Amino acid sequence: MRAIVVGAGVGGLAAALSLRRAGHDVTLVEQTPHFTETGAGIQLAPNATRVLRRLGLLKAVDAHAARPAELSFRTWSDGAEICRYALGRAVEEEFGAPYLQVHRADLQQALAAAVPSGSVRLNTVVAGVDQDEESAYVTTASGERLAADLVVTADGIRSAARRQLFGADEAVFSKTAAYRALVPAHEVADLDLPDTGVWLGPDRHFVHYWVRRRELLNVVAVFGTETAQESWTAQAEPGEQLRAFDGWDPRVLGVLQRTGQVFRWGIHTRAPLARWNVGRVTLLGDSAHAMAPFQAQGAAQAIVDAAVLGDCLTGATSADVGGALDRYVRRRLAGATNMQARSAQAGEEFHLPDGPEAEARNARMAAHAAGHRFLPQAAAWAVDALDERATG
Ligand SMILES: Cc1cc2nc3c(=O)[nH]c(=O)nc-3n(C[C@H](O)[C@H](O)[C@H](O)COP(=O)(O)OP(=O)(O)OC[C@H]3O[C@@H](n4cnc5c(N)ncnc54)[C@H](O)[C@@H]3O)c2cc1C
């Protein structure tokens, strides 16, 4: 079949590769003139890295990644360890694929390099999607109309296709924002940081992990706010991040002092949908299920969408594309919706005020870690892997 994928973010690139692997002819349409993944780090749990392996890209991504050994949850003021989980070899043994931490540009580059340049149309804004019984169509802002057997819209959290297919729901501001920065490893070498750290405090949490073969520390400092700014290019005022985390453990402040450029990103989500597809058109990734980043699963879920979409469309023909898309949505919707809810809930738990509720949370987390080697969300990594194995 001929497929058009709208959007060359992580989800769209993975979908294009997965559909090609399933034997279809794919055109990938992206509004920006270059593949430009800005931003900073991204964590890839084994549900995502399994798919990268299937796409033949695990080595390419791994070559630029950091492989964490473990994750430590800490309290904000004194850095006391609440609990600790394995992220290294044990994860790979249990889930059949590694946990990787990468720079977004490295991930995007590895994915983009695998898509033949002849099947990519950059600098092309999609203005609308429609369909009749035989085909689906993409109309570009310059008035061109492209036809295909199916269209996958991976156009992100502000998806125009979602609005067109399912009406005008808006992105929901989570009342949290993140300072994001990358710090050269040698600048924080004296700080005695845990390998991967998540520090929890009232109305805030602070995450750090290594990317690019541990040459850079990726920093995400999340705080409650009423200001709904969302842009990779919005920069924080000098010292703003330090003032926001005033009183935190000296290691946290040490990192925040050494950040050069700090970006400020308002965190938005999307309400779950009851379905993602209509006829020959389906949503994928953030356009379908944008979630808060507090389980580090948004891109991973988009990558798993792509794998399952490819499976469901293997051997499908234009006559049964609607049924194949139904199967894709049936397999993916509950898991992605569940992850949206877990992510929102994690944000609330991470930000509890000091006092009995935070103490109870810490006790719950410690009790969980005492009985489990892996993070609570690892149950979902396993479900994604099982689902994939069922047909993969
Ligand atoms: C602070 C933060 C930290 C995160 N950390 C993690 C993490 O550790 N692990 C993880 O798995 N996820 C993480 N995520 C989530 C992850 O970044 C997203 O879920 C993921 O990038 C979504 O990919 P996507 O391809 O669906 O959308 P996008 O990356 O938004 O891509 C959409 C693409 O569509 C293009 N487009 C849009 N409209 C049009 C149009 N009309 N015509 C043509 N092209 C169009 C855009 O230019 C863009 O290239 C994090 C998110 C945030 C905000």
Domain residues of the chain, as ranges?
2-171+270-391
Q: How confident is the model over 156-183, as pLDDT tens digits?
A: 999 999 999 999 888 999 999 999 999 9
DSSP state at residue 320: G
Q: Which pair of structure tokens corresponds to residue 255?
A: 């990192």
Q: What is the mean pLDDT of residues 136-151?
A: 98
CA distance 390 to 392: 6
User: Would you call 217 helix, strand, or coil by DSSP?
Assistant: strand
Compute the distance from residue 302 Cα to the ligand 1 centre, in Å.
Answer: 9
CA distance 175 to 269: 10
Query: What residue's CA is closest to ligand 1, atom 41?
Result: 126
Query: Annotated active-site positions, please?
Result: 209
CA distance 259 to 216: 11
Q: How confident is the model over 45-96, as pLDDT tens digits?
A: 999 999 999 999 999 999 999 999 999 999 999 999 999 999 999 999 999 9
* Consecutive H or E run containing 125: none
Query: What residue's CA is closest to ligand 1, atom 2?
Result: 293
pLDDT of residue 392: 42
Compute the distance from residue 10 Cα to the ligand 1 centre, in Å.
Answer: 6
pLDDT category, 37, cuts 50, 70, 90?
A: low
- Nearest CA to 205 out of 361, 74, 41, 40 is that of 74
Position 391 pLDDT exceeds 50: no
* Amino acid letter for position 151: V
DSSP state at residue 189: G
Q: What is the mean pLDDT of residues 12-40?
A: 92
Q: How confident is the model over 250-270, as pLDDT tens digits?
A: 999 999 999 988 988 899 999
Q: How confident is the model over 110-136, as pLDDT tens digits?
A: 999 999 999 999 999 999 999 999 999
2-171+270-391 CATH, one of 3.50.50.60, 3.30.450.40, 3.40.50.920, 3.40.50.11930: 3.50.50.60
Compute the distance from residue 299 Cα to the ligand 1 centre, in Å.
Answer: 7
CA distance 305 to 34: 24
pLDDT of residue 259: 93
| Ligand 1 binding residues, C-beta < 6 A | 6-12, 29-32, 42-43, 125-126, 154-157, 160, 178, 220, 265, 267, 285-286, 293, 296-300, 302
CA distance 207 to 180: 10
pTM of the model: 0.96
Percent of the chain at pLDDT above 90?
Answer: 88
Compute the distance from residue 381 Cα to the ligand 1 centre, in Å.
Answer: 20
pLDDT of residue 235: 83
